Amino acid sequence: MSRLEKALDQVRSERSTFGSAYEIRSPKEGGLSFVEYKSGHSKSGLIPIISVGRQVPSPADREWQAMEEEIIASEYLLMIENDLEFEDFVPYTRSTLARATQFLRRMMIYAHSANVVGMGVPRIGPADRGSIDVFWETQDRTLLINFPSSETIANYFGRKPKSEISGRFDPSEPRPELLFWLAD
């Protein structure tokens, strides 16, 4: 029998005889909490419980969190009213917003699965005729994706040094090429 097996066997036997071998000792002593360890009748000890700092979120986690916050904040679009300023005004609908935000989530999931960090967090804002913009802007690049209210495709234009991209796509699938274009 190995030493570990012996130790486990001993703990099992003590538990069956004396109950749990561990007991939280309270109140706190000197700012620390302790677990009292009783081993049989004679041995006992105090094991301090040390507070472990919360794990620092990774850049990818922070990016994900910020993106989720932007998505939640974008609900304000559904409350925009015309206020008589624009004859061409079309209300912002939940279905248009969902196309935009679901696409963003697909991109986030793809980025995580591909270990891509640095996509950045876009702004989600209103555009013309009930359409919704998703707009990335970093120091050297912009990418503007527009989700129209009347059709299920999206249009985009991106610019960075020595590179411009534009086109249209079906946002029901992630677009890895846009992700890598943003993050490279």
Task: Give one word for 17, left, alpha or beta, with left for phi > 0 and alpha for psi -120 to 50.
Answer: alpha
Peptide bond into 27 cis (omega under 30): yes
For the bound state, the minimum distance from the C-beta of residue 134 to another protein, rounded and expressed in Å, comes to 10
34 binds another protein (CB under 8 A): no
For the bound state, the minimum distance from the C-beta of residue 108 to another protein, rounded and expressed in Å, comes to 20
For the segment 129-148, give every residue that binds another protein (CB under 8 A): 133, 135, 142, 144-146
- Which position among 18, 22, 37, 86 is part of the footprint of another protein (CB under 8 A)? 86
Q: Binding residues for another protein, per CB under 8 A?
A: 73-74, 76, 80-81, 83-88, 123, 125-128, 133, 135, 142, 144-146, 155-157, 159, 164-168
